[in-house]
Amino acid sequence: MPHKDDIRMTEEEIRAYLREGHTMTLVTNGRNGFPHAVAMFYALDEDLTVKFATYASSQKVKNAERDPKVTLLVETGTAYSELRGVMIEGEAEITMDLNETVTTMISANAATGSPLPDIDQIPEDVKVKMAGRRVLLKVRPKRFVSWDHGKLPSSRTPEGLKKVIG
């Protein structure tokens, strides 16, 4: 039987995988004890800090203010052999820097294929209209869990079948 180490991604594979995507599930801890999960466009820093721009009055921000521990998830694949994903545990930091929030909005939307202008070309009043009521959630990863079922041996070959069933 394959071991979880067989499908774990390397740090370089995690970095590449996260750069491929644009939507991530953000899970905060709700006040009633239930997880609060929402899909978010995200931007990624070189150190793998994940950034989200969102309304300051949103439930996810209220939850992160109360308890900054969050879980993030990106996953893809339809067939079992195609399943890939990265789960990140970290703590959310809330900042109100207008330029960084607008830059994150531009980066996150650009990853969807939407061409947006350079931040230096956006007038200050437009930045305020774009992000004046938003904050930035930054999550610095503390722990990664990853999987790539494409690394599993193929059960279509006799050697692969032996490895899969032991």
Closest Cα partner for 130 from 104, 93, 94? 104
Number of domains, the chain: 1
Give the domain CATH number at 81: 2.30.110.10
Range(s) of the domain holding residue 43: 4-165
Residue 121's pLDDT is 74
Residue 23's pLDDT is 94
The one-digit pLDDT tens for each residue of the chain (166 residues) are: 457 788 999 999 999 999 999 999 999 999 999 999 999 999 999 999 999 999 999 999 999 999 999 999 999 999 998 999 999 999 999 999 888 888 888 788 777 777 666 667 777 788 777 778 999 999 999 999 999 999 988 755 555 545 555 5
